[in-house]
Amino acid sequence: MEQTWETPQMAQGTSFAWSRVVIYGLLGFFALIYLLPLVVMVLTSFKHLPEIYAGNMIALPKDWTIEPWVDAWQTACVGLSCNGIKGYFWNSAKMTVLAVVISTVLGLLNGYVLTKWKFKGANVLFGLMLFGCFIPFQIVLIPMATLLGKMGIASSTTGLVFVHVVYGICFTTLYARNYYVAFPDELVKAAMIDGARFFSIFWRILLPNSGPIIIVTVIWQFTNIWNDFLFGASFSTGESAPMTVALNNVVNTSTGERPYNVHMAAAMIAALPTLLVYIFGGRYFVRGLMAGSVKG
């Protein structure tokens, strides 16, 4: 990069330059491979069907069309009904927004209690909650299906919101707790001496300083809940299904000549919300990912 001829590093400089070529070459190669599925999806979603069957998958569309996107949204068949994926998209949107808000609020309050109002056994309780993040959810499917049925909220968005809140709390609590641990106790103590109470301390002192952790938590929860498939497939049927389940049905129920362009458009629509969140909040997404891997 910045080499001067005067320095006696010249001999090393040449091999240095070669290693740069290798490094950039490798990174570029991997970047292409990583982008390939997304590129194929986008390109295919803008092609007419005959062009897909005749042409190759990474060629640019000769004749761009947004028809597959419109079809996916309005007329694609999910199982037996052919009203597109729009209804399922809104199912997912409602479910995700509600579950994210509720689980984040609970997580923040839990984190606040677990760090600033510690009591005997608080760490044990936290440990118990933490394990809930890592269980294979197969272990709760049967009881949850039974319970949702008994409560009368099986196959409803309400039921799925409930499930996502229940199994999201451990993550939101983990994030908030690890963040509030580093928040100075002195500020909280001072407010107590001034006579501030539990909620007003939280509201006036912690919450205004919680911006970053709220973003991390919301992004993490949003991505996880929007992308969930297992709970959606287990606890919803027909019209109440979330987007991922509907997409899987779209892809697997077509008969005859498969409209791959519509499949890819549907997949893109399903991916867009989390993809946008990732593009605009990638930094926070990575932070959540790392915090979710416990280290910290």
- Return the range that interacts with other proteins (CB under 8 A); candidates 72-80, 151-159, 203-211, 279-287: 279-287
Q: Which is nearer to other proteins, 10 or 35 (CB)?
A: 35
Find the part of the chain contacting other proteins (CB under 8 A) among 3-11, 80-88, 209-217, 275-283. 275-283
How far apart are the C-alpha atoms of 22 and 181, rounded to whole Å? 44
CA–CA separation, 263 and 252 (whole Å)? 10
- Give the footprint of other proteins on residues 137-156 (CB under 8 A): 137-144, 146
Q: Which of residues 8-47 bind other proteins (CB under 8 A)?
A: 19-20, 23-24, 26-27, 30-31, 33-38, 40-41, 44
Q: Which of 6, 186, 193, 256 binds other proteins (CB under 8 A)?
A: 193
Binding mask 243-272 for other proteins (x = CB under 8 A): -x--xx--xx-------x--xx--xx-xx-
Burial 172-196 (b: 16+ CB within 10 A, else e): bbbbbbbbbeebeeeebeebeeeeb
Could you report how far apart the first and last alpha carbons of the chain are, in Å? 36
Is 34 or 90 the residue whose CB approaches other proteins more closely? Answer: 34
Integer Cα distance of 251 and 245 in angstroms = 10
Q: At what angle do helices 122-131 and 86-116 cross, to 10 degrees?
A: 160
Residue span binding other proteins (CB under 8 A) among the ranges 60-68, 82-90, 113-121, 208-216: 113-121
Burial class (CB in 10 A: 0-12, 13-18, 19+), 8: exposed
**Alpha carbons 265 and 261: distance in angstroms, whole number:** 6
- Determine the interface stretch with other proteins among 55-63, 69-77, 79-87, 210-218 (rule: CB under 8 A): 55-63
Applying CB under 8 A, among 63, 134, 211, 256 the residue interacting with other proteins is 134
Of 61-69, 82-90, 93-101, 123-131, the window that binds other proteins (rule: CB under 8 A) is: 123-131
Residue 52 near other proteins by CB under 8 A:
yes
Rounded to a whole number of angstroms, the CA Rg of the chain reads 25
What's the min distance (Å) between Cβ of 118 and other proteins? 7
Q: How many residues bind other proteins (CB under 8 A)?
A: 97
Is 5 a binder of other proteins (CB under 8 A)?
Answer: no
Residues 204-243 that bind other proteins (CB under 8 A): 223, 226-230, 233-234
Residue 82 binds other proteins (CB under 8 A): no
CB of 271 to other proteins, least distance (A): 4
Judge contact between 68 and 225, C-beta under 8 A.
no
Spatial distance between the Cα atoms of 220 and 212, rounded to a whole number of angstroms: 12
Whole-number Å distance between alpha carbons of 109 and 98: 17
Say which residue the tokens 């993550």 belong to. Answer: 171
Binding region for other proteins (CB under 8 A) out of 3-11, 71-79, 80-88, 126-134? 126-134
- Of 109, 224, 211, give the one whose Cα is nearest residue 168: 224
